[in-house]
Amino acid sequence: MKVASWVGDRFILLIVLNIFIFYAPIEKEFPHFLFVSRMYIKQIIEGIVAILECLIPRYEEEKPKKK
């Protein structure tokens, strides 16, 4: 909802309808267009999350020293 309010409902609807209308020609030119696009976006998001996980230090509890 935050993205829709920021970008605008009509703009998102316009993009979605264009994809549905032009899906057949796009699919003919680029097979599995929607799947490849979804995976591309998913991998970008996972990469950003992985980079953030590497930047945030993990808490490690100190182990008691044995004598």
CA distances from 25 to 11, 21, 47 (A): 22, 9, 31
Tens-digit pLDDT profile for residues 3-61: 556 667 788 788 888 878 888 788 888 888 888 889 999 999 999 999 999 998 888 88
Contact between 36 and 30 (Cβ < 8 Å): yes
CA distances from 34 to 22, 25, 52 (A): 12, 13, 27
Rounded CA-CA distance 48/22 in Å is 31
Does the pTM surpass 0.85? The reply is: no
